[in-house]
Amino acid sequence: MTSGFYPLPFQESLRLSEIVRELDVLEIAGAEYAERMIVSLAVDSREVSSGSLFVAIRGFASDGHGYISEAVRRGAVAVICEALPEDNGTEAVYIRVADSRRALAAAARAFYRNASGQILLIGVTGTNGKTTTARLIADMLNSCGIPAGYIGTNLCRIGDRDIFLERTTPEAHELQALFRCMLDAGCQAAVMEVSSHALVLDRVRGLRFRGAVFTNLSMEHLDFHQTMEGYAEAKQILFDQLDPEGFAVFNIDDPYALQMASRVPEDKRLCCTLKPEKTSAFRCGRSFSATVSSRTLGSSFVELHFPEALHTVQTDLPGMYNVMNLLEAAAAVSGMGIMPEEVAAVLGKPFRVEGRMERIWDIEKSRCAFVDYAHTPDALEKALSALGELKSLDARLVVVFGCGGNRDRLKRPEMGRIAGEKADFVFLTSDNPRNESPELILDEIESGLEGKNYRRITGREEAIREAVAALLPGDILLVAGKGHETYQEIGGIKHFFSDQEILRECLQKGSFTAPEKERS
């Protein structure tokens, strides 16, 4: 997997004057700019090289204005900023704007020759389900003859090339670079997860989406948005950026869907429900629904009701919330003009997303473990409910989970309550403590576990091993919270850590054997 962004062969430079034309400029100082050539964009002074345009952004941890002199020393020939430095000299051009983030988005579109405008964009937003839904859409488009790239949680996929990403939705200049790479690789479409942070911080400003998908909304990121109302308003920005010829897909079973759709014309709405028998306040252009005829730990048979057809598909994605993910993906691909029979044929193929209900079997001892990214109350409840419905009456559902540090603290006792109610036994452990005390985090989760069956084991590896050791034939284990992550952050330092690796060692190599005891 390639890390970072790399030089693009389609161009070596662009005149600064062509970028300035796209900006709302308040003032220009320093050197003469008309003939200056820009070869790269940067928001981190450490990434500046000769010929760079440096954009000084006021961040939450640091202010880029404090690094302007370093950027110029490293070779920046132009600087976009909200305040001119006291000593602006003649080494560089200084372009003052009201909002550097918005200027970055405009500069990036110009520098990469409006790559985003030459590709069909589908954005997926919501609290849970973004990754699964977006990956499904990208896979289906590729299988149906529309080459599509994917941008999402820690990953950009262009054909058979994977690029590691630090953010779910990269900064504006990184996004445009990726779109340009997709175009150069022959992609006609791009499917991307769009985070609430990206929407508020203008990372996707100026993009026009052919399709926009809303999965659901529940408690998350309140350390940033403060209230659910603020969080919902951030998500709604995506639908304000819908192309006039585009479409929007809504999970109308979610109470926030009506707000998301409020500024989308009725004929552009593709509505998805798992409760078709219930009346809805929605007026839709097209309606999609799904019912499950049968399900096991290994697969489910789902009837997809398209507006013009009914198709049954077999999927290995467990849980009704994954049925909704599948249904919304089907609706989105239908919005791109793919026929229902083609959609159904592709959905019937095996599909797996790392760390999203990823199944690990111990065939010999009839034990099963799932790794899932569930790190919100809603996601944990849905994952546990799904697995609880699949276990046999005499089997137990065991969960290992914790909560991340330096994040919303209000969800911790709520997640403890949910785990205690939905699981037969809980192993309470660390997630990514970051710069918080692991023990204090566990104290807050534990406050919601009153009177429930649980053990508190701070070390995550020990907790997973103890949970596997306690499993009896038929039991199901859910290891929740970290999903696809291959690290654990403790004291601000990331250490290699993989839930999957530990589980496979325990389950497949038989390093632990379930004790001979009666079920409790």
Tell me the per-residue pLDDT of 455-491, one tens digit each, with 9 for 90 and over.
999 999 999 999 999 998 889 999 999 988 988 999 9
Last residue within a domain, chosen from 111, 127, 145: 111
CA-to-CA distance for 461 and 503, rounded, in angstroms?
Answer: 9
| Residue 310 covered by a domain | yes
Distance CA 95, CA 32 (A): 11
Asked if residue 100 and residue 121 are part of one domain, the reply reads: no
Contact call for residues 476 and 438 (beta carbons, < 8 A)? no
353 located within any domain = no
Same domain, 331 and 221: yes
Query: What is 189-231 written as a DSSP string?
Result: EEEEE--HHHHHTTTTTT--EEEEEE----S--HHHH-SHHHH
Q: Are 130 and 332 in contact (CB under 8 A)?
A: no
What pLDDT is attached to residue 75?
A: 95
153 with 230, same domain: the answer is: yes
The pLDDT score that the predictor gives to residue 3 is: 39
Average pLDDT value for residue range 367-394: 89
Are the C-beta atoms of 400 and 455 separated by less than 8 Å?
Answer: no
Two structure tokens written together for 496: 């290699």
> How far are the Cα atoms of 65, 114, 377, 468 from residue 171, in angstroms, in the given order?
18, 15, 28, 40
The verdict on pTM exceeding 0.85 is no
The DSSP symbol for 458 reads S
Q: What is the CATH classification number for the domain harbouring 379?
A: 3.90.190.20
Clarify whether residues 229 and 282 are in a common domain: yes
Identify the pLDDT of residue 121. 98
Residue 519: Cβ within 10 Å count: 10
- Average pLDDT over all residues of the chain: 89
pLDDT beyond 50 at 4: no
SS3 at position 302: strand
DSSP string, 322-366: HHHHHHHHHHHHHHTT--HHHHHHHHTS----TTSSEEEEETTTT
Neighbours of 420 (CB within 10 A): 21
Cα 469 to Cα 18, 366, 455: the distances in Å are 64, 13, 13
Contacts with 442 (C-beta within 8 Å, 6 or more apart), sequence order: 402, 428, 429, 430, 456, 458
Residue 45: DSSP 8-state: G
49, 83, 111: which is the final residue of a domain?
111
Shared-domain flag, residues 277 and 136: yes
Contact (CB, 8 A) for 495 and 398 = no
CA distance 87 to 91: 11
Tell whether 139 and 268 lie within a shared domain. Answer: yes
pLDDT > 90 fraction of the chain, expressed in percent and rounded:
68
Check whether residue 15 and residue 133 sit in a common domain.
Answer: no
- Locus of tokens 């585009």: 246
Q: What is the rounded CA–CA span in Å between residue 283 and residue 254? A: 15
Confidence at residue 520, expressed as pLDDT on a 0 to 100 scale:
35
Specify if 520 maps to a domain. no
CA separation for the pair 338, 332 (Å, rounded):
9
- pLDDT band at residue 518, thresholds of 50, 70 and 90? very low
What six digits make up the tokens of 498? 């993989």
Question: What's the CATH number where 238 sits?
Answer: 3.40.1190.10
Q: What is the pLDDT of residue 5?
A: 45
Domain boundaries, position 393: 358-508
Give yes or no for a contact between 358 and 393, defined as CB atoms under 8 angstroms apart. Answer: no
Give the pLDDT of residue 90: 78
Residue 324 lies inside a defined structural domain of this protein: yes
- Buried-exposed string 100-111: b where 16+ CB fall within 10 A, e elsewhere: bbbbbbbbbbbb
Express each pLDDT in 273-293 by its tens digit.
998 876 577 889 999 999 988
Model confidence at 218: pLDDT above 50: yes
Any idea what DSSP says for residue 266? G
The answer to whether residue 500 sits within a structural domain is yes
- Within a domain: 518: no
Statement to judge: residues 383 and 250 lie in one domain: no
Structure tokens at 453: 């069956």
Q: What is the pLDDT of residues 224-283, one digit of tens each?
A: 656 888 889 989 999 999 999 999 999 999 999 999 999 999 999 999 999 887 657 788
Span 193-212, average pLDDT = 93
Confidence of residue 187 (pLDDT cuts 50, 70, 90): very high
> pLDDT of 416-446, one tens digit each?
999 999 999 999 999 999 999 999 999 999 9
Among 70-79, 126-135, 186-195, the range scoring the smallest mean pLDDT is 126-135
Cβ-proximal residues to 34 (8 Å cutoff; 6+ apart), any chain:
15, 16, 17
The letter for the amino acid at 10 is F
Q: Is the pLDDT of residue 196 over 90?
A: no
Q: What is the CATH number of the domain that holds 101?
A: 3.40.1390.10
**Claim to verify: residue 416 and residue 442 sit in the same structural domain:** yes
Asked if pLDDT for residue 388 goes beyond 70, the answer is yes
Within 10 Å of residue 277's Cβ, how many Cβ atoms? 7
Whether 304 and 419 share a structural domain: no
Which residue, of 314, 347, 380, is where some domain finishes? 347
Give the mean pLDDT of 396-407.
Answer: 93
Please name the residues in contact with 391: beta carbons below 8 A apart, sequence gap of 6 or more: 397, 474, 475, 476
**Per-residue confidence (pLDDT) for residue 279, from 0 to 100:** 59
Distance separating alpha carbons of residues 173 and 176, to the nearest angstrom: 5
513 part of a folded domain: no
| One domain, residues 339 and 394 | no
Q: Which residues contact 437 (CB under 8 A, 6 or more apart)?
A: none
When pLDDT is cut at 50, 70 and 90, the band that residue 509 belongs to is: low
Does 127 fall in a domain?
yes
C-alpha dist (Å) from residue 407 to 2, 430, 510: 29, 14, 36
Buried b / exposed e along 158-179 (16+ C-beta atoms within 10 A): beeeebebebbbbbbbbbbbbb
480/246 Cα distance (integer angstroms): 36
Number of domains in the chain: 3
| 439, 337: one domain | no
The single-letter DSSP state of residue 185 is T
Report how far residue 204's alpha carbon sits from residue 340's, in angstroms, rounded to the nearest whole number: 31
Residues in the chain: 520
C-alpha dihedral sign at 214, 215, 217, 221? negative
